[in-house]
Chains A and B, each alone.
Chain A
């Protein structure tokens, strides 16, 4: 009975609280980091969604992979992800983090073909680079995914 109560009511509150306090750590691996900085800035203001920038992976819930991941950076990115405490989510921003983009495996020897080859990714944001609206859209889609809702933002 207690478990059912937890799953029904407290679980919903927990999901709501988690989705509204996504403290994130951002890996500025490439140029999409500039767009994420714009999203953090005063015009778009990511903090109104409850997102707070963190520098310590142990205090972060969300890992934003901004741009391409090279083979040299891949072990460090995986290390960063493994140092985060569960529940943890990953947002892949930009075409390079999604599939390699202009550095796809046919054209580049040194870029990993998507961040999902290393770590599990929850939401992919396409674009080269995506506009801040698209990053916010991906973030809202992640919030709805955490809440268990059917996303309406695609």
Chain B
């Protein structure tokens, strides 16, 4: 039996979704490692939970650790002022491939710009639940990178471009050594 009543409620509604509960750093906020494919059901359970009501996705961050992407959801409630952190990980199959994660934008609509940022910068594709429109079809037409950009810039193995739209990404090396003056 868990000490945290929220975890025991989650284990009842979405069995097998919660893998591990830790503290978030040194703060009293609990960080829940969850199973990747059950994030949508878990999000709905957390949003509709009568005592917590996590209706606000505060932030969504992506970190790459040696071929593993860790995606962190910072949740907060505007009703009860509770805070919780959800974490899930996904393994990168090959250095250039994309990682597919279930999207939560149907649960928290503010996830759309954050998921699009993660998609452009890390190549983490957030797949919408079946029967709904994808993230691309939603209203936010945000593009951070210019058109025709190649690669995902915030990945560890990203190589800087040599040139883009005929602008070289380098400067010619100029020898600015001061000529030595001989003391007479």
Contact = CB atoms under 8 A, between A and B. Distances in A.
B171 to A, nearest CB: 5
Interface in B147-184: 153, 158, 160-161, 164-165, 167-171
B146 interface: yes
Interface in B102-155: 145-146, 153
Tier of interface size on chain B: 10 to 19
A120 interface: no
Interface stretch (A48-56, A109-117, A124-132, A139-147): A109-117
A140 to B, nearest CB: 24
A74 interface: yes
B167 A105 contact: no
B167 to A, nearest CB: 5
The A interface, classified by DSSP as helix, strand, loop or mixed, is loop
A105 B170 contact: yes
A13 B104 CA distance: 68
A117 B171 CA distance: 9
A43 interface: no
A148 interface: no
A44 interface: no
Interface of B: 145-146, 153, 158, 160-161, 164-165, 167-171
11 contacts: A71-B164, A74-B167, A75-B165, A104-B171, A105-B171, A109-B161, A112-B169, A113-B169, A113-B171, A114-B171, A117-B168
Q: Which 4 A-B pairs have the closest CB atoms?
A: A72-B146, A113-B171, A109-B160, A105-B170
